Amino acid sequence: MKVGICDTTFARVDMGAHAIDEIKQHVGNITFIRRTVPGIKDLPVASKKLIEEEGCEIVMALGMPGPEEKDKVCAHEASTGLIQAQLMTNTHILEVFVHEDEGENPKDLKQLAENRAREHAQNLIKMMFKPDAMRKEAGMGMREGRPDVGPV
- Residue 22 within binding range of ligand RDL, rule CB under 6 A: no
Rg (CA), the chain: 15
User: Residue 89 has what DSSP assignment?
Assistant: H
Which CB sits closer to ligand RDL, 116 or 118? 116
The answer to whether the beta carbons of residues 6 and 53 sit under 8 Å apart is no
| Residue 93 within binding range of ligand RDL, rule CB under 6 A | no
Q: Is 10 in the site for ligand RDL (CB under 6 A)?
A: yes
Q: Is 65 in the site for ligand RDL (CB under 6 A)?
A: yes
* Spatial CA neighbour of 42 closest among 82, 73, 70: 82
The span from the CA of 152 to the CA of 149, in Å, is 9
Cβ-closest residue to ligand RDL?
39
Residue 119 to residue 146: CA distance in whole angstroms? 10
31 or 146: whose CB is closer to ligand RDL? Answer: 146
In the complex, least distance from residue 143 CB atom to ligand RDL, rounded to whole angstroms: 3
Nearest distance, CB of residue 8 and ligand RDL, angstroms: 5
Check binding of 66 to ligand RDL (CB under 6 A): yes
In the complex, the smallest distance separating the C-beta of residue 32 from ligand RDL, rounded to whole angstroms, is 20
Which SS3 state, helix, strand or coil, does residue 136 take?
helix
Among 69, 70, 87, 104, interactor with ligand RDL by CB under 6 A? 70
**d(Cα 83, Cα 150) in Å, to the nearest integer?**
27
Where does this chain touch ligand RDL (CB under 6 A) — which range of 17-25, 62-70, 84-92, 124-132? 62-70
Q: Which residues touch 55 (CB under 8 Å, ≥6 apart)?
A: 2
